[in-house]
Structure 1
Amino acid sequence: MKVAVPESATEVKGAVQINPQEDIYLLSFLTDEKTAVGVAEDLRPEKPLRTRNQDLPSPTELFGHLGLAEPQNEKGVRWAGVCPPCVGDSRRSEVQWIEVHLLELDAGTTRVYMQAY
């Protein structure tokens, strides 16, 4: 993913799901809201963070492996997705897609969820 975890982050968790066609990389951490938004914006998504439609079923069950609820099932979660090669982000040329979810837990604390393949 080549994402720098902020020095102030806590509860940093990550994993790789090895698959025959493409591996899935997972990363999650807690940080403040401003830093979380900065991490999301650094991915260069074509659309800004937006609230997920709660009626969508969860396409995967990945973050449970890290002891976390799936972000797409959380109320109020914001997300963005980006194709690094499509936006010319050479820093992340080894992944085809990165999805970031931000979940505000309380005033000042936000959980960042990232998934890439």
Structure 2
Amino acid sequence: MNRQPTAWKRLFAAVVLGLLLTSCSTADMDDPDVTDGRTSQWGEGMGVPEASAFMKVKVPEGATAVKGAVQVNPREDIYLLSFVTDEKTAVRIAEDLHSEEPLRTRNHDLPPTTELFGYLGLVEPQTQEGVRWAGVCPPCTGDKRRNKVAWIEIYLQPQTQGNARVYLQAF
């Protein structure tokens, strides 16, 4: 097959995402050989500093409503970070992730595949109208700063007065 490199990268990202979703299935959680007896739990005392450090995303000066958490899983931890900043800064953060695809509006009528941001007291970004999204596999794009991040997603939700809520999720 003669595929373009971007097609391979998309395929890799889809496989990685599929593996993550498979690793979180209840069948795996019941198998002690798979999980070593551990289950998913929220990392006590783990929040904004840990999520920011893992993603290599600095919370902008003046950002408000800053929240973060780490879901500790048997196979891969999930890092969440969210804050409100001005629209220009939010777009710069998205651009810094080096996604091959630009931010695009997602269909908000579909149910979210995961419901993680509720832990932070936030509505899942996938369910909100007008939210723009981008996802990226940092190692696939050669982002050496994020070489330990398999996948990172960013959602930008428009707010009042030219601001946007930034949602970041990574594993």
Structures share fold, TM-score greater than 0.5: yes
Corresponding position of 1:67: 121
1:64-103 alignment to 2 at 5 Å? Answer: 64-103=118-157
Corresponding position of 2:108: 54
- Residue 27, structure 1, aligned to residue 115, structure 2: no
Provide the rounded CA distance (Å) in 1 between the counterparts of 2:120 and 2:109: 24
Corresponding position of 1:9: 63
- Please tell me the residue identity of whatever aligns with 2:113: P
Structure 2: gaps spanning 5 or more residues = 1-54
Q: C-alpha displacement at 1:56, in angstroms?
A: 2.3
Q: Percent identity?
A: 70
Provide the rounded CA distance (Å) in 2 between the counterparts of 1:19 and 1:2: 20
SS of the aligned residue for 2:169 comes to: strand
Which of the two has higher C-alpha Rg? 2
Structure 1 or 2: larger strand share?
1
Q: C-alpha displacement at 1:48, in angstroms?
A: 0.2
Provide the rounded CA distance (Å) in 1 between the counterparts of 2:157 and 2:122: 12
Provide the rounded CA distance (Å) in 2 between the counterparts of 1:29 and 1:110: 8
Structure 1: gaps spanning 5 or more residues = none
Q: C-alpha displacement at 1:101, in angstroms?
A: 0.1
Runs of 4+ off more than 3 Å: none
Q: C-alpha displacement at 1:55, in angstroms?
A: 3.1
- Please tell me the residue identity of whatever aligns with 1:74: Q
Q: C-alpha displacement at 1:106, in angstroms?
A: 1.4
Equivalenced residues, count: 117
Deviations, residues 4-57 of structure 1 (Å, cap 9, x unaligned): 111121111000000001000000000000000000000000100000012322
SS of the aligned residue for 2:83 comes to: strand
For normalisation by structure 2, the TM-score amounts to 0.67
- Please tell me the residue identity of whatever aligns with 1:41: E
Provide the rounded CA distance (Å) in 2 between the counterparts of 1:26 and 1:64: 11
SS of the aligned residue for 1:86 comes to: helix
Provide the rounded CA distance (Å) in 1 between the counterparts of 2:111 and 2:127: 8
